[in-house]
Copies of this chain bind each other. A is one copy, B any other.
């Protein structure tokens, strides 16, 4: 570890690059680009995300390690959402000269820790000076083209399956921003929400299940990074269909204890950054998938013809999904 007071501008671009190269496989260092082997029958999948200090992360709620982890997880989640196996990521980093070198090293440690969990290499990058810290990650993966999961493939009658629980990341953020809140939570509930916010897990563990299904039928889907409601809305929009959500998705009990039922339900639908998958597939495949995944997935509704999205509450009150609520980054 470097001297804790060393600044980026003390090292310079070349010095910092040399320090960061140890996070890359040694055989790809030195050239203008990295060379990666691919699988002959697969197509390349590419996805890019930009994260900006003060917009997507802040030192107040997120350590440098966690910024790296989350940025990496978000991009690997985009690959999982397409049914693609990761090949590698690149990191383009903009930094003020007065940033601590130790911050940058911790960022890369977080990136590397997440990549290690999913056997994915860091295959390239660039660093440069800027008044604002920002991180642009491009993730590369591969998928048999006929088996790719796409938003546009939902069909009338498909069951809507969601993995995991939603709203936990938003609950974790609330706890981090307001340390006094949530006295009534069990430590395990608190930890789980904070963990969901700081160290989300891309659902690459689902790939073997999805690959098996998509040999037989097309799966529609995406991840819920911008919220569960947004994912359903995007799938319906690109597939030209509607949806009825007729079983309220399960709400994590700790979330209700933290925020009350009404707010917990709002965070569950609109909170975002849960990085779970929202999938549409024929009823029998959906039932098998949910069974195979144990308690980790649920059918929450089905695809309908009329292009509108209805939430049917347990007391049969029908409401329209509030489709104007979404992330606004400007």
Contacts and interface: CB of A to CB of B under 8 A. Distances in A.
Interface string A24-65: 000000111111111010111111111110111000000000
Contacts of A50: 92-94, 126-128, 136
Contacts of A92: 48-50, 92, 136, 138
A57 B315 CA distance: 59
A222 interface: yes
Interface in A308-330: 326-330
A36 B47 contact: no
Contacts of A327: 13
A16 interface: yes
Contacts of A34: 45-47
A268 interface: no
A128 B36 contact: no
A128 B55 contact: yes
A143 B36 CA distance: 10
Contacts of A198: none
A330 B8 contact: yes
B14 A52 contact: no
A197 to B, nearest CB: 19
A152 interface: yes
B129 A131 contact: no
A100 B31 CA distance: 37
A56 to B, nearest CB: 7
A87 interface: yes
Nearest to A327: B13
A300 to B, nearest CB: 20
A46 B33 contact: yes
A129 B42 CA distance: 35
Interface in A71-113: 77-79, 81-82, 84, 87-88, 90-95, 97
A124 B48 contact: yes
A43 B36 CA distance: 6
Residue among A90, A223, A238 with max Cβ neighbours from chain B (10 Å): A90
A52 B94 contact: yes
Nearest to A41: B40
Interface string A136-157: 1011110101001011100000
Interface of A: 8-9, 11-14, 16, 30-38, 40, 42-52, 54-56, 77-79, 81-82, 84, 87-88, 90-95, 97, 123-132, 134, 136, 138-141, 143, 145, 148, 150-152, 222-223, 234, 238, 326-330
Given A49-B92, A138-B138, 14 more contacts: A9-B330, A12-B329, A13-B330, A30-B150, A30-B238, A33-B47, A33-B84, A34-B46, A35-B145, A48-B125, A51-B128, A54-B131, A55-B129, A129-B330
